[in-house]
Amino acid sequence: MEIIKKILVLVLIFIIALIFTACSHGDTDLSLDYTCQNTALLFGSVKIISMGNEYESFSVWNHAFFTDEEGQQFSATGMGMRPEEAAGELSIIPFGEDFQIIIEGRPLGGGWQHNFYRLIDDEWILTLRVYKNHRDYPHNFLFITHGLPAGEWEQVDYTELFLELLEHGEYILDVRLWWGNELNASSYHNFFRFVK
């Protein structure tokens, strides 16, 4: 039964990937006219700039939904990935004075979430979560959970340098966001590893 479930998930992922690939290459011979032309899939990228160098993220697909021409919505969920699973795939980025997290493109809803995991006693511990939701709040506000009990947050001004809240140590950053639009979108984990 488990094998059948895995096969079905892989088939669904393949179909979604086929749709996204066909749309991004303008191939509408697969009866994707509605999906491609009327929903304008938008994708971007996440990178870090540090010490004058640019670093691409290790991106892991997490979830997707798409809408057919009758308006019926379908979704699929990937396996996701935890920081400890991603650690072996990541090169360590040095933390320079010019360290910046760059999101190129506009995520769905304009929002994103940065989760900073610090390596403490051989475990990756979530030490800072920074969340921005453009849809519901003014663009200049973030929500942070630094030093607060689980489930609580504090609203701060966007101009505050939240990277200063990070103590010295080794970190994995997981930038979570959605690319696409209200009809067709995919969410991703974008991992980086750095030492401050």
> Could you report the per-residue pLDDT of 77-112, keeping only the tens digit for each?
877 899 999 999 999 999 999 999 998 888 877 678
Distance of alpha carbon 37 from the chain centroid: 25
Dihedral angle over CA of 119, 152, 147, 88, nearest 10: 10
Q: pTM here?
A: 0.72
At 65, is the pLDDT very low, low, confident or very high (cuts 50, 70, 90)? confident
From CA 152, how far away is CA 144, in angstroms rounded? 9
> Could you report the per-residue pLDDT of 129-153, keeping only the tens digit for each?
887 765 555 444 556 666 555 556 5
DSSP for the chain? -HHHHHHHHHHHHHHHHHHHHHHHTT--TTS-HHHHHHH-----EEEEEETTEEEE-EEEEEEEEEE-TTS-EEEEE-----HHHHGGG-PEEE--TT-EEEEES--GGG-EEEEEEEEETTEEEEEEEEEE-TTTS-TTEEEE-TTS-TT--EEEETTS-GGGGPPSSEEEEEEEEEEE-SSSEEEEEEEEEEE-
> Domain ranges in the chain?
40-195
> Could you report the per-residue pLDDT of 28-57, keeping only the tens digit for each?
333 334 344 334 446 789 999 999 999 999
